[in-house]
Amino acid sequence: MRKLLRIGEVAQLLGVSTKTIRHYHKINLLQEPERTEAGYRLYSSQDLMRLRQIRQLQSYGLPLKTIKTILGDPTREHPLHELLRALDQELVAQISALEQRRQRIRALLVEEDTHLDVTQPATAASVAWVKEVLGERVTQISPRAVQLEAKIWSAIQNFQWPEAFSERVQEAVSQLATHDDLLEYLLPFYDRVVALEALAEDAPEVQQLAEECLRNTAFRELIQHLTLLSQQSPMLEAPFADVFGDMVNATLAPAQRHFFALLAPSINQETIGAM
């Protein structure tokens, strides 16, 4: 009468696959047991307890290589306490990272518009930065305008552009935020640009807004100020400039891209005049 367990019976008791047990044998984590004349493995209660120890240590998140060290020499003082302490610290860091990720997700969920553009997402960090720069003035523009600005800034902040480009551009924008007279015009204008996203690319309202901007003295002053700020910031060279431009354009709707294309010749003239 057989008194030892076969591998399938052991696997059933532990809730694992026979493949898992064979892998433990392969890496010498579990010694080979007795075999029948037909070559079948036979496991004792000691083997079963050893397997239970292995599974318990695995449940703590310890890798098999570490478990092999812990269980390898029964006469050796096992460093289990130190290993578990280190593992606990690692888990604390992971929990903190997961909590931060959860906060970012929750921040997105509470936005009025929960449609997420996965091609160029407005990260929670970018949204927070835009709100920080605008301060109390953030209430003067729509949540859609904040999201659009944040999407543009995520293209700047989420990559390591050459020559500290991101940091210098952020400094320039922070300087712009101190000019109340320019912001008084810029913020309402921004909402009108955001509203273009619902229009067709060739909608007459696009041309009308562009012409209105070009006639507006405050808009020309804004362009001149932005030009001066841009001259203080490092310029990206090809191919970085082209890729960056494409990324910014990807955040805009067709009508918005058409609007800025209509403004481009006048903006370029202002830029040349400021040099």
How do residues 166-220 score in pLDDT, each as one tens digit? 777 777 677 767 777 777 777 777 788 888 988 999 999 999 998 888 887 777 7
Q: Are residues 196 and 224 in the same domain?
A: yes
> What is the predicted pLDDT for the residue at 77?
56
More confident residue, 112 or 54: 54
Residue 235's φ and ψ, nearest 5 degrees, are: -95, 140
Burial of 232 (0-12, 13-18, 19+ CB in 10 A): exposed
Kindly report the three-state secondary structure assignment for every residue of the chain: CCCCEEHHHHHHHHCCCHHHHHHHHHCCCCCCCEECCCCCEEECHHHHHHHHHHHHHHHCCCCHHHHHHHHHCCCCCCCHHHHHHHHHHHHHHHHHHHHHHHHHHHHHHCCCCCCCCCCCCCCHHHHHHHHHHHHHHHHHCCHHHHHHHHHHHHHHHCCCCHHHHHHHHHHHHHHHCCCHHHHHHHHHHHHHHHHHHHCCCCCHHHHHHHHHHHHCHHHHHHHHHHHHHHHCCCCCCCCHHHHHHHHHHHCCCHHHHHHHHHHHHHHHHHHHHHC
For residues 91 and 187, membership in a common domain is answered with: no
143 and 269 in a single domain? The answer is yes
Predicted local distance difference test score (pLDDT) of residue 247: 81
The reported pLDDT for the residue numbered 78 is 53
Q: Are residues 132 and 197 in the same domain?
A: yes
Instruction: Give the CATH number, domain containing residue 12.
Output: 1.10.1660.10
Q: According to the model, what pLDDT value does residue 270 have? A: 53
User: Which residues are within 8 A (CB) of 113 and not within 5 positions of it... i.e. 6 or more apart?
Assistant: 143, 144, 147
Regarding whether 127 and 90 lie in a shared domain, the answer is no
Average pLDDT over residues 63-92: 76
Q: Which carries the bigger pLDDT value, residue 76 or residue 103?
A: 103
The first and second tokens of residue 107, run together, are 């921040």
Domain total for the chain? 3
The radius of gyration of the chain's CA atoms, rounded to the nearest angstrom, is 32
Does the pLDDT of residue 19 top 90, yes or no? yes
Given a cut of 50, whether residue 13 has pLDDT beyond it is: yes
Cα 189–chain centre separation: 30
59 in the same domain as 22:
yes
Angle between helices 217-231 and 165-176 (to 10 degrees): 150
The model's confidence at residue 227, banded by pLDDT at 50, 70 and 90, is low
Residues 6+ apart with CB under 8 A from 248: 152, 155
- Both 72 and 99 in a single domain? no
The pLDDT of residue 22 is above 90: yes
What's the pLDDT at 255? 93
Residues 187 and 125 in one domain: yes
| Amino acid 203: pLDDT | 93
Which amino acid, residue 75?
Answer: T
Q: Quick one: pLDDT at residue 15?
A: 94
Asked whether residue 272 carries a pLDDT value surpassing 50, the answer given is: no
Q: Among 72-76, 92-96, 165-169, 194-198, which is the least confidently predicted range?
A: 72-76
Residues 136 and 234 grouped into a single domain? yes
If you average pLDDT over every residue of the chain, what do you get? 79
Residues of the chain with pLDDT > 90, as a percent, come to 25
pLDDT band at 223 (very low <50, low <70, confident <90, very high): confident
pLDDT tens per residue across span 101-160:
898 778 767 755 545 555 455 566 677 777 777 777 777 777 887 777 777 777 777 778
Per-residue model confidence (pLDDT) at position 8: 94
Residues 227 and 182 in one domain: yes
Question: Does residue 148 share a domain with residue 27?
Answer: no
Both 103 and 164 in one domain: the answer is no
Tokens (6 digits) for 59: 């449940």
Residue range(s) defining the domain that contains residue 55: 5-76
Residue 47 has what pLDDT? Answer: 93
Query: pLDDT category, 30, cuts 50, 70, 90?
Result: very high
